[in-house]
Amino acid sequence: MQTFTASQAKQNFGALLSQLEHSPVAIAKHNKTVAVVMLPDAVPVLPNPRLQARLEQQQREQQRLMRHQQLAIGLLCASPAQQARQLKAAHAVVARWARDGLCSADYIARWSAWLALPLQKLAPLMCGDADGWGSAMRQNSPFTAAGPSETV
- 61 and 38 part of one domain: no
3-class secondary-structure state, position 99: helix
pTM for the whole structure: 0.64
Using CA atoms, how far apart are residues 58 and 60, in angstroms rounded to an integer? 5
Q: Residue 6's domain spans which residues?
A: 2-42
- 98 and 120 part of one domain: yes
- 24 and 74 part of one domain: no
pLDDT tens, position by position, 92-140 = 999 999 999 999 999 999 999 999 999 999 999 999 999 999 999 999 9
- 24 and 90 part of one domain: no
Residue 145 confidence (pLDDT) = 58
Using CA atoms, how far apart are residues 94 and 89, in angstroms rounded to an integer? 9
pLDDT band (50, 70, 90) for residue 144: confident
Domain count within the chain:
2
Residue 149 confidence (pLDDT) = 42
Is the pLDDT confidence value at 152 over 90?
Answer: no
Count other C-beta atoms under 10 Å from residue 14's C-beta. Answer: 8
Rg (CA), the chain: 28
Residue 36 belongs to domain with CATH number: 3.40.1620.10
- 73 and 110 part of one domain: yes
